[in-house]
Amino acid sequence: MSLATTESVAEIKARNKQLIDEVLKVYPEKTAKRRAKHLNVHEAGKSDCGVKSNLKSIPGVMTIRGCAYAGSKGVVWGPIKDMIHISHGPVGCGQYSWAARRNYYIGTTGIDTFVTMQFTSDFQEKDIVFGGDKKLAKIIDEIQELFPLNHGITIQSECPIGLIGDDIEAVSKVKSKEYDGKTIVPVRCEGFRGVSQSLGHHIANDAVRDWIFDKVNPEAKPAFEPTPYDVAIIGDYNIGGDAWSSRILLEEMGLRVIAQWSGDGSLAELEATPKAKLNVLHCYRSMNYISRHMEEKFGIPWCEYNFFGPSKIAESLRKIASFFDDKIKEGAERVIAKYQPLMDAVIAKYRPRLEGKTVMLFVGGLRPRHVIGAYEDLGMEVVGTGYEFGHNDDYQRTAQHYVKDGTLIYDDVTGYEFERFVEKIQPDLVGSGIKEKYVFQKMGVPFRQMHSWDYSGPYHGYDGFAIFARDMDMAINSPIWKKTKAPWKDAPRPSLMAAE
């Protein structure tokens, strides 16, 4: 059903350019001008995708983006399991993000672990009028009394905090002192800051730097004996267990993972990370800041990797191994060889069912490029992609390492654009988020949520790839998609483009 497979690259480019022109027509002039900069057709050989990014979303267009609070509490801090994260402000933000991201962890929830709980200061009008600092101080006392095994507290600011002039830093310092130097981290991630989740990631990274790293006593005895093979996993949120199916590979190749940021992570792991010999970075977008900081301050090198699909996994294992001695290099080869039969079996089973199928993606800050290799391992082709909150360096990486000539690129896509693009291109699969899922399924287009793995996963690592392949097959080849048209209705037009 895909058009892409039967068309030349030149034809695809012309069609995509025409599509962009068409969608821009709906906007008032000023908006069309702004949106035009975010849409493009990729030209092979270019150093980036030719789109502007990380700019303000336009009012009223139905952006898919979230906010800085979502980037800090929802993404970076929320998964740190032994700390209590207070959603500071009105009740909603914490409520809507409560346990919604499937950051898996091991622990006794409510006793020594708190990830799937919603702690909030539930601001009332009087807190807005008189300020919430006293309430915050009391909340910290109540947490200490009722949840004595917590290892630390973070204060995740919602919009009003920065607007009413609360001094959460002062409260944090006073309370930290009162509780024997307890880790209490104020985070200025008010939702109106920046243009998307992205600034929230950055603010959260900076809070780790300022309120955790800077308070660790460098003279203190390490909790464990260092080895030359100590690494930290940075930027894996353990969605459906992703960090676990990654960690196991690093350990099998002879490395020792001393910290996970932040899926199934703990305060002790954050504190120990400056002892790592290498930081391996999966989600570049959300955690490059702290990786760069550790490089500058502690001299720890960092290395991006991609654990989606066997091609990228093997490439990444070798890249990580290149930072170490022959023992680890051999370890990487051993791991690749060990899983080869499983990968062969998975591809033998699923590739024939998925060969030539086309995919359009729209995800956050990493997956719009990172998952492309995994689809290609299954013989599939990504014909359109874009970032919800990527920056130019993401589009550079995308252009230089991932997308093909002629791929449609859409930054901070609007609901309207995405719908039109999919309607015209008719991909075999769309991979995006919960807000998009049902829109496309109604249109009869198979869909997988690529933030939450549609409640499946893990998708990282070799174990994850088997699940990924199974899920994509399940989505695309579900018999239900043949039933969307009642048999007494006319058969769908074979090609919407041709009909125009």
Partner 1 sequence: MTQNAEHVLDHFELFRGPEYQQMLANKKALFENPHDPAEVERIREWAKTPEYREKNFAREALTVNPAKACQPLGAVFVAVGFEGTLPFVHGSQGCVAYYRSHLSRHFKEPSSCVSSSMTEDAAVFGGLNNMIDGLANTYNMYKPKMIAVSTTCMAEVIGDDLNAFIKTAKEKGSVPNEYDVPFAHTPAFVGSHVTGYDNALKGILEHFWDGKAGTAPKLERKENDKINFIGGFDGYTVGNIREIKRIFELMGIEYTILADNSDVFDTPTDGEFRMYDGGTTLEDAANAIHAKATISMQQYCTEKTLPFIQGHGHEVAAFNHPVGVSATDDFLMTLSRISGKPIAKALEQERGRLVDAMADSSAHIHGKKFAIYGDPDLCYGLASFLLELGAEPTHVLSTNGNKHWAEKMEALFASSPFGKNCHAYPGKDLWHMRSLLFTEPVDFLIGNTYGKYLERDTGTPLIRIGFPVFDRHHHHRYPVWGYQGGMNVLVKILDKIFDEIDKNTNVPAKTDYSFDIIR
Tell which positions 333-352 bind partner 1, by CB under 8 A. 342, 345-346, 348-349
Q: What is the rounded (10 degree) CA torsion for 247, 250, 255, 260?
A: -30
Catalytic residue among 4, 38, 42, 67: 67
Structure tokens at 418: 């995405």
Minimal distance, residue 253 CB to partner 1, in Å: 13
Site for partner 1 in 195-214 (CB under 8 A): 195, 197
Nearer to partner 1, 87 or 407 (CB): 87
Nearer to partner 1, 9 or 96 (CB): 96
Interface residue with partner 1 among 77, 104, 261, 302 (CB under 8 A) is: 104
162 interacts with partner 1 by CB under 8 A: yes
Site for partner 1 in 19-38 (CB under 8 A): 26-28, 30-31
Q: Residue-wise over 109-120: b if at least 16 C-beta within 10 A, else e? A: eeeebbbbebbb
Minimal distance, residue 24 CB to partner 1, in Å: 11
158 interacts with partner 1 by CB under 8 A: yes
Our answer to whether residue 285 is catalytic in this structure is no
Q: Name the one range near partner 1 by CB under 8 A: 59-67, 205-213, 301-309, 318-326.
A: 59-67
Instruction: Give Cα 126 distance to the centre of its chain.
Output: 37
Our answer to whether residue 201 is catalytic in this structure is yes
Q: Which are the contacts of 209, defined by CB distance < 8 A and separation ≥ 6?
A: 290, 293
Binding residue count for partner 1, defined by CB under 8 A? 125
SS (HEC) of the chain? CCCHHHCCHHHHHHHHHHHHHHHHCCCCHHHHHHHHCCEEECCCCCCCCCCCCCCCCCCCCCECCCCHHHHHHHHHHCCCCCEEEEEECCCHHHHHCCCCCCECCCCCECCCECCCCCEECCCCHHHHHHCCHHHHHHHHHHHHHHCCCCCEEEEEECHHHHHHCCCHHHHHHHHHHHCCCCCEEEECCCCCCCCCHHHHHHHHHHHHHHHCHHHCCCCCCCCCCCCCCEEEEEEECCECCHHHHHHHHHHHCCCEEEEEEECCCCHHHHHHHHHCCEEEECCHHHHHHHHHHHHHHHCCCEEECCCCCHHHHHHHHHHHHCCCCHHHHHHHHHHHHHHHHHHHHHHHHHHHHHCCCEEEECECCCHHHHCHHHHHHCCCEEEEECECCCCHHHHHHHHHHCCCCCCEEECCCEHHHHHHHHHHHCCCEEEECHHHHHHHHHCCCCEEECCCHHHCCCCCHHHHHHHHHHHHHHHHCCHHHHCCCCCCCCCCCCCHHHHC
Q: How many CB atoms lie within 10 A of CB 338?
A: 13
Minimal distance, residue 360 CB to partner 1, in Å: 15
Give the x/- contact pattern for partner 1 in 291-330, rule: CB under 8 A. ----------------------------------------
Interface residue with partner 1 among 133, 166, 236, 269 (CB under 8 A) is: 269
Nearer to partner 1, 14 or 32 (CB): 32
Interface residue with partner 1 among 10, 33, 43, 192 (CB under 8 A) is: 192
Minimal distance, residue 91 CB to partner 1, in Å: 5
100 interacts with partner 1 by CB under 8 A: yes
Q: Which are the contacts of 255, defined by CB distance < 8 A and separation ≥ 6?
A: 229, 230, 231, 320, 324, 328, 331
139 interacts with partner 1 by CB under 8 A: yes
Minimal distance, residue 114 CB to partner 1, in Å: 9
Nearer to partner 1, 212 or 399 (CB): 212
Q: Name the one range near partner 1 by CB under 8 A: 45-53, 167-175, 308-316, 454-462.
A: 454-462
Catalytic residue among 101, 282, 285, 370: 101
Catalytic residue among 65, 85, 201, 367: 201
Nearest by Cα to 372 from 152, 59, 42, 125: 42
Minimal distance, residue 43 CB to partner 1, in Å: 28
Catalytic residue among 70, 204, 332, 374: 70
Our answer to whether residue 353 is catalytic in this structure is no
Interface residue with partner 1 among 224, 226, 227, 496 (CB under 8 A) is: 224
Minimal distance, residue 471 CB to partner 1, in Å: 9
Our answer to whether residue 67 is catalytic in this structure is yes
Interface residue with partner 1 among 467, 472, 475, 476 (CB under 8 A) is: 467
Minimal distance, residue 149 CB to partner 1, in Å: 5
Site for partner 1 in 385-424 (CB under 8 A): 414-416, 419
122 interacts with partner 1 by CB under 8 A: yes
Nearer to partner 1, 297 or 483 (CB): 483
Nearer to partner 1, 314 or 403 (CB): 314
Minimal distance, residue 199 CB to partner 1, in Å: 10
Backbone angles phi, psi at 18, to 5 degrees: -65, -40
Interface residue with partner 1 among 241, 309, 310, 406 (CB under 8 A) is: 241
Nearer to partner 1, 121 or 407 (CB): 121
Minimal distance, residue 399 CB to partner 1, in Å: 27
Report, as residue numbers or ranges, the catalytic residues: 67, 70, 101, 201
